Amino acid sequence: MRSIYRPGAIVETWFEFLPEGQRRLCRALMAAVQAAGPDLLPVVKSGHLIFLQSGVHAVAIAPYSRLVHLQVFNGSAIATRFPMLRGCGPGLRQMHWRGGDEVDATLVQAIVRAALAALARGGERERVSARRPRASRSAAGPDDAGGR
């Protein structure tokens, strides 16, 4: 089992291992995240900088070779308000930046505040009014399905 490293020195060391372009982006993202949620606890886990809210994963900064992702662990709960969050499934959504991109701190702060509010509500998902119709079964019944 992997453990969570909490000391501030570990977080600073994490930044030192990043290439310069990613380091700049990650520091800007960290500043925006901490401005939106000053009570969030930054920890390093599995190579990512994760921000915990009362022990629960709220958001993470995840650098990859060409991109830096801001991962919102309950992003599906706020996806209708922030369509720029990418992903599918029941939880995680993300935004990404390339090395030369600028971070829109106002947008990041709004996303983090909305994610924290959703966590406070118990992670409720916003209702999506237009859902895709469920795939229908063929007109043939189970007896006509080739003996299955």
Looking at every residue in the chain, the average pLDDT score rounds to: 83
Where residue 143 falls among pLDDT bands split at 50, 70, 90?
A: low
Higher pLDDT, 126 or 119: 119
Q: Would you state the pLDDT for residue 77?
A: 93
Can you tell me the mean pLDDT for 126-140? Answer: 45
Contact 44, 85 (CB under 8 A): no
Count of alpha carbons within 13 angstroms of residue 105, beta-carbon side: 12
Evaluate if residue 116 carries a pLDDT over 60.
yes
Q: Would you state the pLDDT for residue 90?
A: 87
Q: Would you state the pLDDT for residue 148?
A: 46
Q: Would you state the pLDDT for residue 4?
A: 59
Q: Would you state the pLDDT for residue 131?
A: 40
| pLDDT tens, residue by residue, 53-100 | 988 999 999 999 889 999 999 999 999 999 999 998 889 999 999 988
Q: Would you state the pLDDT for residue 1?
A: 54
Can you tell me the mean pLDDT for 39-60? Answer: 93
Which residue type is seen at 46?
A: S
Q: Which of 32, 116, 35 is nearest to 78 (CA)?
A: 116
| pLDDT tens, residue by residue, 6-33 | 568 889 999 999 998 899 999 999 999 9
What pTM, to 2 d.p., does this model score? 0.77
Q: Rounded to the nearest 10 degrees, how much is the dihedral formed by the CA atoms of 51, 55, 56, 57?
A: 30
Question: Sign of the C-alpha dihedral, residues 58, 76, 91, 60?
Answer: negative
